[in-house]
Amino acid sequence: MSATGASLAPAPQRSIRRALPVARPLLPAAAARLAGWVALAFFGALHWATMVSPRATGDLIWATVAVTAGAAVLLALRAAPRAARTGLGALAGVTTALAAVALAGVPAALLAPAGWGELGEGVAQGVEALPDLRVPYAGEDPWPRSVILGGAGLLLALAALLAFWPGGRAGGRAHGRRRGAAAVTLAVLYAVPAVELNADHQFARGALFALLLAAFLWLERLPRHGALAAAATLAAAIGAGAALAPALDRPRPWIDYEELAQSLAPSAGVRFEFDHRYGPIDWPRDGREMFRVRARDRAYWKAENLNTFDGRGWRRTDEADQQGASLAAELPPGFRARPSWRQRLRVTVRGLRSRQLIGSGTTFLAGSPPSAAQSGGSPGTFELERPLRRADAYEADAYLPRPSDAELSAAGTDYPELAPEYLELTVPDARFGESSVASRQAGALPELSFPRWGSAAGAPASLDAGAAPEEVLRASPYRRTWALAQRLKARSRTPHEYVQRVLAHLGRGYRYDEGPPTRPYALEAFLFEHRRGYCQHFSGAMALLLRMGGVPARVAGGFSPGSFSRRRGDYVVRDLDAHSWVEAYFPGYGWVTFDPTPAASPARSQVTLDFSAPGGAGSLAPGIARRGDVPEPGPDAVGSRSPGRTGDRSGSSPWAVLLGLLVAVAAAATLIRRRGRRGRRGRRGRPPPAADPALAELERAFRRAGRPMSEGTTLSEIERRLAPWRPAAAYVAGLRAARFGYAQRPPSRRGRRELRRALAGGSGPGGWLRALWALPPVPARRRER
């Protein structure tokens, strides 16, 4: 490549790109890439572990270790033949991802094909709950936690595949793009917790993250002679960022993405009002999931009690109207002696938005509610400080008696002190016009207290001075209801028999209809005129008849049991399951559930609550076929908070399969790499000696300065291009002469400086900085060597 003639060149003309060497790196490329990846992966995984409470540090550390092993296998596969790389790489990637997800907290049993259905259902539930989660997540629903931790395992596996995929040429463009994508993936592991959580020493954490990110991106390309300059440059950049960060840290975000997301969200949840109105149904009927309940026995899931009849319909009792009622009075003295009638509920909210805590029967203990809870409209129900919303989860203990017919028939009439409150009704009098709550509070509407079953009194008593009960009833729109209650009571010997006769009456000649005619007194019209209605009509009429007959009763509002998910071991309750039923009090047992609504109701699982004896308490009226009975959950439906802990666990463990696959891939990669090395040694013999580092520096300087050489560029062509800058051209000429062995002295330092000026020419201050980075100064002693 001589400029004076070919006779002076001891070697033939060669491309400078082929002759240029690679500068001696600080670390071997594979080791540097793996070290940078491991440091950044562990840093991100430790931060991601704080997204749940308690922290999952150990789980994610083991997941990172497993992914690191998979990354080492992928590195070893680079020595495999091209035809085998893709298949073995895909197998190693899938195995690594499964191991990472399992170690991150997803049950390994669900990773087998038999558990994919349950896994998909659970993951969908967890993903749907993510937008409304509060982090660190500490809820009772295990699936959001599993999705959070499993997502970290998948991010780690994806980053390993991007960084160490055995295909392509090392150092090529595709390799650089994959490395950048891997860096972004690992950055997510740190960035998401950094945004969502308020950690200590945030600026120090950010500086360490920047250092690890730079190491992952550039460590494998860092030459030894440039390590100090690179470290100084990186330290200066991190220091400048740490100085500017406090100024950019404002009290309010630059873009409030949470407010933007809330403004675009169609709905935050479905609200229900359980007070009776008897008009057209206006609550949603879309089949949307409201919540899930994990319980030993199926039950009606109660939101609130409707204790007060205001003359037109049933409504919840305000706190001011409770008259000192207590939870102790709601529970029978011996309720602890029947542990089978008590159960622990684990409720996970999906699409419901309500201040009422969902329970069952009489809820007497709420563990770890989503917000502060206080007694609701009546004892045994709770109202929360803030509404329930998606992903809220809590536990509640409930008492739900299920006595048999014989036990209820022998229950007697020794009612506790709370009984009078549940025997009162506001009965409109035609002399006072229309009924309203305001007029009742003003004393315009009389309140009647009906005698309890077995009492010597045969007529109701008036709670308002001067009002004659007999005259009130004769003038009331409910006079026919009072007469019906007396006829049914006259044929009954016990309160339980009377309850059964009321059920039987509502089961003959009445039908389910969601669009009944609108009447001023809907329950009276339902009983004696059109005889059609929905759950509010049936339950409201039954409670009205029971109180008039002397049996303490109330209406309950909430949801029917829903459908049982055998895979998940819980009950799925949807908006179609919104329901209203009746509870009657029996001495020694407490509030017992009865449902007079026909099975044609969309509430899909109206069932008897006595599973041991057909026809027991809670039975539907005789002659009404049940609809939607759901299978019983298994014995382990309750007892494990981890998802998917039900079902048969026999057979080989998925852990053994994953470990076997990983070992097989590692062994195959080792064998292929050894054979590849032997083949290369036989074909090529000794590796060629290293080329001149000065030529490598020249090629790298042009590339960094934004003036890369083409494939066939020679030193003579570079010398001609630098002709306007004579000292720089002389420097290249010196390199050419040294390259071919007839130069007595190496190129001068002045020529090196002139070459740096030539590279920066016409590019402004930024060009000077770039040229300084492309061709940094070197000490004089090193130049002499």
Q: What pLDDT is recorded for position 530?
A: 92
Q: What pLDDT is recorded for position 253?
A: 59
> How do residues 444-496 score in pLDDT, each as one tens digit?
567 888 888 888 766 777 766 556 777 778 788 898 999 999 999 999 999 99
Q: What pLDDT is recorded for position 553?
A: 94
Question: Of 269, 295, 273, 282, whose CA–CA distance to 349 is shortest?
Answer: 269
Extract the tokens encoding 71.
Answer: 């990354």
Q: Residue for token digits 């009865």?
A: 594
CA–CA distance, 274 with 576 (Å, rounded to integer): 14
Question: Of 360, 166, 292, whose CA–CA distance to 572 is shortest?
Answer: 292
CA–CA distance, 25 with 35 (Å, rounded to integer): 14
Q: Are 756 and 746 in contact (CB under 8 A)?
A: no
Extract the tokens encoding 273.
Answer: 């009002």
- Name the percent of the chain lying above pLDDT 90: 17
CA–CA distance, 780 with 23 (Å, rounded to integer): 20
Q: What pLDDT is recorded for position 463?
A: 63
> How do residues 104-122 score in pLDDT, each as one tens digit?
878 877 887 777 777 888 8
In DSSP terms, 614 is beta-bridged to none
Q: What pLDDT is recorded for position 441?
A: 45
Phi, then psi, of 375 in degrees rounded to 5: -60, 140
- Cα angle at 286 between 282 and 292, to 5 degrees? 105
For residue 687, pLDDT beyond 90: no
Which stretch, 26-35, 615-624, 739-748, has highest mean pLDDT? 26-35
Q: How far is CA 74 from CA 30, 63, 80, 204, 488, in A?
A: 11, 17, 10, 33, 82
Q: 434: pLDDT confidence band, cut at 50, 70 and 90?
A: very low
Phi, then psi, of 270 in degrees rounded to 5: -105, 130
Which stretch, 66-75, 193-202, 370-379, 633-642, has highest mean pLDDT? 66-75
Residue type, 263: S
Q: How far is CA 22 from CA 311, 698, 709, 771, in A?
A: 94, 11, 15, 20
Reported as type and span, the H/E element at residue 774 is helix 764-774
CA–CA distance, 144 with 130 (Å, rounded to integer): 7
- Count CA atoms closer than 13 A to 120's CA, side-chain side: 6
In DSSP terms, 292 is beta-bridged to 348, 572
Average pLDDT of the residues of the chain:
75
User: Comparing 597 with 378, which gets the higher pLDDT?
Assistant: 597
CA–CA distance, 242 with 82 (Å, rounded to integer): 46
Q: Burial level of 25, CB count in 10 A (0-12/13-18/19+)? A: middle
Extract the tokens encoding 113.
Answer: 């094909």
Phi, then psi, of 437 in degrees rounded to 5: -65, -40
Q: 585: pLDDT confidence band, cut at 50, 70 and 90?
A: very high
* Bridging pattern class, strands 308-309 and 570-574: unpaired
Q: Looking at 70-84, 128-142, 685-699, which range is the least confident one?
A: 685-699
Q: Are 327 and 420 in contact (CB under 8 A)?
A: no
CA–CA distance, 405 with 402 (Å, rounded to integer): 10
Helices 495-506 and 479-490: angle between axes, nearest 10 degrees? 120
For 616, residues 6+ apart whose C-beta sits below 8 A from its C-beta are 402, 403, 404, 405, 608, 609, 610
Cis bond upstream, residue 136 (ω within 30):
yes
CA–CA distance, 385 with 693 (Å, rounded to integer): 73
> How do residues 722-733 score in pLDDT, each as one tens digit?
877 778 888 888
For residue 414, pLDDT beyond 60: yes
Question: Of 249, 237, 195, whose CA–CA distance to 213 is shortest?
Answer: 237
CA–CA distance, 195 with 132 (Å, rounded to integer): 16
Q: What pLDDT is recorded for position 683?
A: 43
Q: Looking at 184-188, 366-370, 518-522, 754-758, which range is the least confident one?
A: 366-370
> How do residues 708-726 score in pLDDT, each as one tens digit?
777 667 777 888 888 777 7
